[in-house]
Amino acid sequence: MGLKRIFKSLIILNKEIETSRGMLYPRESETREVRTLDGIWNFVRSDETNPTQGIRDGWFKDDLSKSMPTIPMPVPASYNDITTEQTLRDHVGTVWYDRKFFVPRSWGQDQRVWLRFGSVHYEAYVWINGRSAVKHEMGHLPFETEVTHLLKYGAENRITVMCDNALIQTTVPQGKISEVANDEGVTIIQSYTFDFFNYAGIHRSVHLYTTPKTFIEEVEVKTNLSQNNSVGTVDYSITVNGTAANEAENTLLARLQIYNREGVQVANVTSDSKLVGSLQVDNVKPWWPYLMHSDPGYLYELEIRLYAAKEQLLDVYRLKVGIRTLSWTNTTFLINGKPIYFRGFGRHEDADVRGRGLDNALMARDFNLLKWIGANAYRTSHYPYSEESMQFADQHGIMIIDECPSVDTENFNQVLLDRHKSSLEQLVHRDRNHPSVVMWSIANEPRTGQVNADTYFQFVANYTRSLDSTRPITAAIAVPSNDDKAGRHLDIISFNRYNAWYSNTGRLDMVTQRVISEATGWNKKYDKPVLMSEYGADTLEGLHLQPAFVWSEEFQTEVFSRHFKAFDALRRQKWFIGEFVWNFADFKTAQTYTRVGGNKKGVFTRARQPKAAAHLLRQRYFALGREVDQCNVPNDLFTYIADVGGSNVKHDSADL
C-alpha cells in the first residue's frame, strides 16, 4: 500500500497547461489611454492563524478600513521592510490592500478597460467594487483582466487585493510552512532553502488601460539578418481580440511600419487577413550587445495599425524591435554571426526599504554601474525581473539570461511540473520580443541528481523549446557533473561553484585548477558550450585584512583573480563562453548565522557603491572587451602610478 502510493507520486506526465493571453506592455497611443494606480494604498495584515478570515468576512465588499484598522502602504513595494514591526517583516500568509480611484466618464463609451499588475508575490486575488476580477498565482510575472463591466464610469471605484506569500512544496519556488513552539504558544514559520528574502506584496506597477473594442491583443516578432548583416527581416504575427474580428474575419488588416532611431520610416507592409507576415529593412543596423559594437542596443520602432473594412482605424500599438540573430553549436554561441563571450553578473531585484518593489532610480543606477564596469550580460537570478528593466536592457545592449522562478527545485511532482511549465510559459510570453533576451534559464540549482530529474527536466526543457526555438536553454546547476541528470536536455551548461568559500574555505590555492577541471568535466559529459554562472565570496565592505582572509575586501579580490586565471585557460577552449560573478550587489536573505544582514557577495554594496573588487573586475571586463570585441576602454580604467617607461608597470589603459 505504502509502496504503491510512493510509486504513484513518482509518475509525472507531460500534461497540457493553461497558457496566458494578451499582456502587451501598456502603452498610450492614438487609440489607447493608460493610467497608473501606483501610490499609497490602505493595508491590513491578516491574522496568521486565520488567513482566510477576510474572505469569509467579506472584507472586499466595502472599504478595508470598515473591517480592520489599516496602515498606509506604498505600491509598488514589498511590504516587509516598510514598518518597524517584526510581525510584518516575517508575516506568513495573506495581507490586504485597497484604494479608491476615479474612472473618467469618457472611458465608458465604446471601448474596453483592462486592469494589469506588473507582479504580485506570490498569489493575488483582486476585486473591483466588491466583485471578483482576477486571481493569479506566481510572483514576478504580469497578469491582467478586462474590467469594463466592473467599473463605474465618471464615478469613484474601489480596488481590493488579497496577497498570499505562502510557499509550499508545489509552488514555484518551493517552501515549507510549519508550526513551531515559541515561548507563548506556537508560531507559523515559512522556511525555504533558497538564499534570498521572500519579499512579498504588490511589487510592480498597477495599470488601468483602455483599448478599442477590437484591438491588438498580441504581437510576436522574430528577426533575422542576411549573410553579411546588411538586410534585416522582421517576421510578425498579430492576434486580435474583439467582435470585429469574429464577425468579419476577412475584413481586418494591419499596416505595419518600421521607423529608425531618427524617426525615418525604413520599411512598411500591409498584412493579409491572417495578420502574419514579414518586413524587410535594408542597410539595417543590427542590435548589438554593449562593447561588442560602437552603437549597441539599436532599436527600431514597429508601428502597427489595425484596420477594419473601409479603412476604419481600429487600434494602434507600437513596439521597440531590435534586429538580431542568435545561433549556437556544441562549441559556440553567436549573435549576428559573432561568437559571444559573456562577462556578467547574477543579480537580484533587491534594495533597502522597498525590498523587491520596482524602483526606477535604482534601476537606472544599476544600468549605469553595469556599463561602468564593462559587463555585457546578467542573469535574472532567480526570477523574472521587471518589464521596465527588460526595456532598459534592450536599449543599453545588455544581454539577459532570462530565468523563471524555479530555484532549488526538488521533490519533483505533477503539480510542481505544471506550475513550473506555466512559469516558463508566462515568462516566454512576456519577454519573447526583447532582443536583449538571449537565453532561457529553466531553473537555478535544481536537485538534478534526484530520481525523476531526468524526466522532469526533459519535459520542462522541451516545453520551453516548443514555446521558443530561437533561443538556447540553460539551467544553473550546482550538483557535480557526474551526478547530474538534466544537462542533456539543455543547449548550454551553466554551473555554480564557490571554490575557496563553501568548498575549501579560505584556500585561495585551491581555486584555479578546480574551476578548470569542473568546467572541463561538464563539457566532456555533454559536449555543449559551458559558462560559469556563479562564483564569489561574501565580503564585508570596509573590512581589510592582509594577507587576504575570508570576508575581507582583499579576499574577494583574490578569489576573483584566481577565477580569472582559470577562465583565461578555459577561454582557449572555444566551448567556454562566459563568466558571471555572484553577485552584482549585496542583498537580503532569511536570517542565518552565515549571513551578516544578508548575502554580502556583492561587487557593489546594497547602496550600490563599489567594493575594492569592483575596480579589478572593471579592468578585467574591459580588458576582455578589448581583446574579444575590440572595444574602446575608458580613460579612467587605470589610475596613474608612475612614468616608468619600459618597465611592466601598467599605468594607463594604453597598456592593456
Residues serving a catalytic function are 445
125 or 197: CB nearest ligand GCB: 197
User: In whole angstroms, how close is the CB of 471 to ligand GCB at the nearest point?
Assistant: 21
CB of 194 to ligand GCB, least distance (A): 6
Cis peptide before 51 (omega within 30 of 0): no
Nearest residue relative to ligand GCB (C-beta):
195
For ligand GCB, which is the closer residue by CB, 84 or 594? 594
Nearer to ligand GCB, 367 or 582 (CB): 582
With beta carbons less than 8 A apart as the criterion, state whether 325 and 335 touch.
yes
User: Angle, nearest 10°, between helix axes 360-373 and 612-629?
Assistant: 60
518 is a contact residue toward ligand GCB (CB under 6 A):
no
**Distance linking the first and last C-alpha atoms of the chain:** 69
Q: How far is CA 279 from the centre of its chain?
A: 29
Residue ranges with strand state E in 322-389: 326-328, 333-335, 338-339, 342-346, 377-379
Q: Does 553 bind ligand GCB (CB under 6 A)?
A: no
Q: How far, rounded to the nearest angstrom, does the alpha carbon of residue 258 sit from its chain's CA centroid?
A: 27
CB of 412 to ligand GCB, least distance (A): 19
- Residue 91 or 601 with smaller CB distance to ligand GCB: 601
In the bound state with ligand GCB, the residue whose beta carbon lies nearer, of 422 and 444, is: 444
Q: Is 474 in the site for ligand GCB (CB under 6 A)?
A: no
Nearer to ligand GCB, 67 or 499 (CB): 499
599 binds ligand GCB (CB under 6 A): yes
Q: Which of 81, 98, 123, 195 binds ligand GCB (CB under 6 A)?
A: 195
CB closer to ligand GCB, 422 vs 599: 599
For the bound state, the minimum distance from the C-beta of residue 555 to ligand GCB, rounded and expressed in Å, comes to 14
Distance of closest approach, residue 233 Cβ to ligand GCB, in angstroms: 38
* Planar angle of CA 165, 57, 81, nearest 5 degrees: 30
The least CB distance from residue 463 to ligand GCB, in Å, is: 23
CA distances (Å), origin 633, targets 53, 393, 616, 630, 651: 60, 21, 14, 9, 14
Q: Supply the DSSP symbol for 17.
A: -
All three cell numbers of 203, joined, read 511589487
Produce one character per residue of 543-570: b if its CB has 16 or more CB atoms within 10 Å, e if not: beeeebebebbbbbbbbbbbbbebbbbb
C-alpha cell at 425: 510559459
CB 252 within 8 Å of CB 308: yes
Q: What angle do CA 162, 165, 169 make, to 5 degrees?
A: 130
Q: Rounded to an integer, what distance in angstroms lies between the CA atom of residue 37 and that of residue 172?
A: 27
**Residues 96 and 46: beta-carbon distance below 8 Å:** yes
Neighbours of 180 (CB within 10 A): 9
Q: Which amino acid is at 229?
A: N
| Nearest alpha carbon to residue 408 among 632, 176, 185, 151 | 176
Q: What is the DSSP letter of 610?
A: B
Task: Tell me how many residues contact ligand GCB (CB under 6 A).
Answer: 10
Is 445 among the residues that bind ligand GCB (CB under 6 A)?
A: yes
Smaller CB separation from ligand GCB, 601 or 618: 601
Q: Considering beta carbons, is residue 38 or 534 the nearer one to ligand GCB?
A: 534
- The residue assigned the cell 501598456 is 26
Note whether 496 binds ligand GCB by CB under 6 A: yes
Q: Are 121 and 162 in contact (CB under 8 A)?
A: no
Q: Which is nearer to ligand GCB, 20 or 599 (CB)?
A: 599
Nine cell digits for residue 104: 473618467
> Residue 490 Cβ, how far from ligand GCB at the closest point, in Å?
16
Query: Cell 536592457, residue?
Result: 393
Taking the complex as a whole, the smallest distance from the CB of residue 551 to ligand GCB amounts, in Å, to: 13
CB of 102 to ligand GCB, least distance (A): 43
Amino acid at residue number 110 = D
Told to check if 475 binds ligand GCB by CB under 6 A, we report no
Q: Please give the backbone phi and psi of residue 581, each rounded to the nearest 5 degrees, phi first.
A: -75, 145
Should residue 601 be labelled a site residue for ligand GCB when binding is judged by CB under 6 A?
A: yes
| Cβ neighbours, 10 Å, residue 345 | 30
Distances (CA, A) of 94 to 155, 167, 219, 554: 29, 12, 35, 44
Contact 23, 429 (CB under 8 A): yes
Judge residue 392's burial from the number of C-beta atoms within 10 Å of its C-beta, 0-12 exposed, 13-18 middle, 19 or more buried: buried
Q: According to the binding rule CB under 6 A, does residue 478 interact with ligand GCB?
A: yes
Least distance between ligand GCB and beta carbon 290 (Å): 25
For residues 385-444, which are near ligand GCB according to CB under 6 A? 444
Shortest Cβ distance from residue 37 to ligand GCB (Å)? 32
| Coil vs helix vs strand at 547 | coil
Q: From the CB of 592, what's the least distance to ligand GCB, in Å?
A: 10
Q: Write the DSSP string, 288-322.
A: --TTSSSS-S--EEEEEEEEEGGGEEEEEEEEEE-
Residues 6+ apart with CB under 8 A from 350: 196, 197, 199, 356, 585, 587, 588, 606
Residue number, 418 or 558, with CB nearest to ligand GCB: 558
- Of residues 528 through 547, those in contact with ligand GCB by CB under 6 A are 534
- The smaller minimum CB distance to ligand GCB, of residues 444 and 539, is found at 444
Determine, following the binding rule CB under 6 A, whether residue 342 of this chain makes contact with ligand GCB.
Answer: no
Cα–Cα distance measured from residue 266 to residue 298, given in angstroms and rounded to the nearest whole number: 14
Q: Which three cell numbers stand for residue 259?
A: 521607423
CA 540/CA 550 separation, integer angstroms: 9
Choice from 79, 117, 582, 638 touching ligand GCB (CB under 6 A)? 582
Residues that bind ligand GCB (CB under 6 A): 195, 382, 444-445, 478, 496, 534, 582, 599, 601
